[in-house]
Amino acid sequence: MTYPNTQLFINGQWQDAADGRTLAVFNPASGKEIGRVAHAGKADLDQAVAAAQKGFETWRDMAPAERSRIMRKAAAFMRERAGEIAPLLTQEQGKPLAEAKGEAMAAADIIEWFAEEGFRVYGRIVPGRFKPELRQMVIKDPVGPVAAFTPWNFPINQIVRKVGAALAAGCSMLVKAPEETPAAAAALIKAFADAGIPPGVLGLVYGNPAEISSYLIPHPVIRKITFTGSTPVGKQLAALAGQHMKRVTMELGGHAPVIVCEDADIQLAVKSAGAAKFRNAGQVCISPTRFLVHESIKNDFAAALVKYTQSLKVGEGLAEGTTMGPLANPRRITAMAEFTQDAVKHGAKVAHGGERIGDAGNFWQPTILTDVPLEAKVFNDEPFGPMAAIRPFNTLEEAIAEANRLPFGLAGYGFTKSLKNADLMARKVEVGMMWINMPALPSAEMPFGGVKDSGYGSEGGPEAMDAYLNARAVTIMNV
């Protein structure tokens, strides 16, 4: 499939940047340029923000049933077009075709769920405390136009979670999507456009991230900010939003612990954690990274994980049979090499991988490190790549303490046959999402977000709607 050049979407129209600027898009499997994406300037942003305000005024006043109808139609388009969208996503991001198609299909499920959740934006009637004539009401209104900033690792998924909740609540949204993976984001927005969403309700821009965020966040039209990305950048944007009293949702970086107890089913743990670890070449915010394995089974677990890793087929995402594609950019290759070298320097052993594959594209061997000391960089900084670091523990309390040692708290995993162990991990591991005896399985109806330095707010479940709604108190005295 030919990869398209990508335009901005402003006020219901696809258009080039006003000054004609573009950026190159590269295929991570080859390192070659495959297309261009429009680079928004101030004139484009001025137009986009004005459109978002008008779109909000229209969308806010539409009946929930009509908003739901448009959203469900967009979901249907995503499902119908998944086979066309997936190759675009694979070309620009690198993930295997099956994963890319799964991301497009999952977007349809998320849109549909939020389309129905919009019917449940309820206020309430509160009895008057002192007089029965008092009619006290709690009214929930959409907060207003929203600015969304999203990353390249899941360019459809990370947008659709934000868009679904915002639209269901009655907000308009201007998306600043990733320049590295523009076509997939555009395909999602096109599904809504083709479904008949009014002009200005959804906008899409690309360009310099710092310039766009410094323009949109302080802008008086924008009433809420939602960001997915690294913790350092998230803190900067949250601070800027705080200066302007803007509501914020932050889904930031993680460093997910995996606790494998003495009584765990090793094959289940390897299959579940292995699938989660090497999905999207480990470039997943909820990817398991710190493997804490009971001393008595550490060798058996490591051997089984190595065997699993050896079964992976690394290659170009469009090639048949590929189960792990390239890393997104050359920076990730450099980072993987640095993590590996640092771990070995501190005494860790490379049980598998640890090297770049070839010299074309951004391919890295799936890597297993064992006997990793706490001082190693990989046990303190998120590797964001196909690297699993294994360290033994003796007591579950010791493992939980290590799981909670870092300031991150996005996702965690546990494997045990004991209800007591499962309950202890569920209560004590400080993460926003915990999966026990299974791989990561996010769903639209469940909260998605972290605690501590991994952010605040949710992008799933009914909780996701709260940040897009103002709760107002109205009291009427009957006279």
- Indicate which residues carry an active-site annotation: 251, 285
Sequence-ordered list of residues with C-beta below 8 angstroms from that of 342, at least 6 positions apart, any chain: 376, 377, 378
Torsion, Cα of 291, 294, 296, 302 (10° steps): -10
Cα dist. 390→252, 393, 434, 436 in Å?
24, 10, 19, 18
- The secondary structure element, H or E, covering residue 456 is strand 455-456
288 three-class SS:
strand
Check residue 52 and give left, alpha or beta (phi > 0: left; psi -120 to 50: alpha).
alpha
- The secondary structure element, H or E, covering residue 127 is strand 124-127
| Residue where the block lists tokens 């990730």 | 332
φ and ψ of 243, to 5 deg: -65, -25
Q: In what order do the strands lie in the sheet with 202-205?
A: 13-15, 8-10, 202-205, 173-176, 146-149, 224-228, 247-251, 455-456
Token code pair at residue 47: 């137009």
Q: In what order do the strands lie in the sheet with 349-352?
A: 349-352, 367-370, 387-393, 288-294, 256-260, 411-415, 433-436
Q: How many helices, marked H, and strands, marked E, lie in the chain?
A: 13, 22
**How many Å apart are CA 455 and CA 419, to the nearest integer?**
29
**How many Å apart are CA 132 and CA 309, to the nearest integer?**
69
Longest CA–CA span in the chain (Å) reads 82
In 3-state terms the chain splits into helix, strand, coil percentages (rounded to 5) of 40, 25, 35
**CA 255-261-265 angle, 5° bins:** 105
